[in-house]
Structure 1
């Protein structure tokens, strides 16, 4: 079912209708947007398709350009199209009001003024009282994004179709066998390590041992005493006292 119906007058809204269709279809899916030229299949009864399309949609977007209000009737150029009960722009909006569809006037351009109810047929006077949106080619992408955001908040069915959700947080995938070291702003101690690299020591402030034997925390003796620790020590500390023999002095 089409959630959004684009209502526009060919004389001043055709290109904009294409832009709305493209952008909104990207966000909500092409089947969610009804635009007559796209959505009515060849050979289909267009009258029934248009009426049913309006009645079944959730939102009708009435694109109102500079010529929308005073566009001449194609059959009788001496009168405005809106005064003709058979004008399709008028009929679609009337059907939307009758069906309880949310109608959103979209003013195209910065110089299009809000509608004057005195210049509208009685059946369309409510259109002048609907909160409108504004769209301009220069800020088109931002305007459509804002419109979409507001419609999502108003129409739950659109929220479920919205493809512009929060961007997923970046996650690091660790290849099999790779080594990753995490610190997490640790001060001192041994950090968390994944892989086969042993232990990662960050700002150690005391004796540490990462081998397989006993940890030796013996005093440091200079001059007449020396500590000897060989590889992985499994015993105690062997100390030798006396004058240290220098190379070449042994007898």
Structure 2
């Protein structure tokens, strides 16, 4: 359900209406905000859609542009900006005026049509382009106070990672890479915990930091070797060990 209804006049505050729409949807979710230019589908009956969503909303933002209070349209009974505000009043929906520019003065009763004079008694929010992030956050906070249900729909900040586990590997790798911490039950495979050196998971022997010597004799050379290394091995039967000597 659309909790927030944005009321604005085309040509005098519509840019801020779009900015509010985007910022509040980002904070509270797409379904939390109604703005006619985006929310009414093509072919829908315009008056019915406007009034239906307005009556179901929990707060109405009235965007006040520089010419808003003095325009002739606001004094006509068929003006939709005027009709939406009066409908919100009749339905007892909270109305928040949003002054769209630093040049916009606070509303004054004598400058408003008599039916809308009560708007001058409402605390207004102000938006300034050079403090946009701060002002949009304050408007969102004010809406949270008016509509507690928005707290359940509030989205996490974009730079806050979602809860969960993240794993990564770098460099060359072949076969299966597994990262594990605690295991319960049976695990198919081999688990290595707390290893402090290389280990081999394939067939064959492993020799780490030591030469492999086997056979009757061997020559082991470590470091730099300049020139040749020559060695000869002979194996002679020891007759005495064969028991041939008396």
Contact 2:127 2:135 (C-alpha < 8 Å) held by counterparts = yes
Contact 2:55 2:91 (C-alpha < 8 Å) held by counterparts = yes
Bigger RCO (CA 8 Å, 6+ sep): 2
Contact 1:34 1:53 (C-alpha < 8 Å) held by counterparts = yes
Give the direction of change, closer, same or farther, for the CA distance of 1:157–1:14 in structure 2 (3 Å limit). Answer: same
Distance 2:133 2:180 in 1: 45
Does residue 128 in structure 1 map to residue 120 in structure 2? yes
Secondary structure of 1:16's aligned partner: helix
Alpha-carbon offset, residue 168 of structure 1: 6.8
**Which runs of at least 4 in structure 1 moved beyond 6 Å after TM superposition?**
168-175
Alpha-carbon offset, residue 169 of structure 1: 9.6
Unaligned runs of 5+ residues in structure 1 are 72-79, 179-194, 199-251
Distance 1:18 1:93 in 2: 18
Alpha-carbon offset, residue 150 of structure 1: 2.1
Please give the per-residue CA displacement for 1:116-159, whole angstroms capped at 9, x wherever unaligned: 11222222122111111000122212211111122113311111
Q: How does 1:130-145 map to 2 (within 5 A)?
A: 130-145=122-137
- What corresponds to 1:88 in structure 2? 80
Distance 1:38 1:196 in 2: 57
Contact 2:70 2:111 (C-alpha < 8 Å) held by counterparts = no
**TM-score of the superposed pair, with normalisation by structure 1:** 0.63
Structure in which a larger fraction of residues adopt strand? 1
Distance 2:124 2:112 in 1: 16
Secondary structure of 2:194's aligned partner: coil
Alpha-carbon offset, residue 93 of structure 1: 0.4
Does residue 16 in structure 1 map to residue 16 in structure 2? yes
- What corresponds to 1:196 in structure 2? 194
Unaligned runs of 5+ residues in structure 2 are 168-177, 182-192, 197-246
Secondary structure of 1:41's aligned partner: coil
Distance 1:120 1:35 in 2: 24
Does residue 99 in structure 1 map to residue 91 in structure 2? yes
Distance 1:157 1:172 in 2: 30
- What corresponds to 1:5 in structure 2? 5
Distance 1:21 1:173 in 2: 33
Give the direction of change, closer, same or farther, for the CA distance of 1:177–1:60 in structure 2 (3 Å limit). Answer: closer
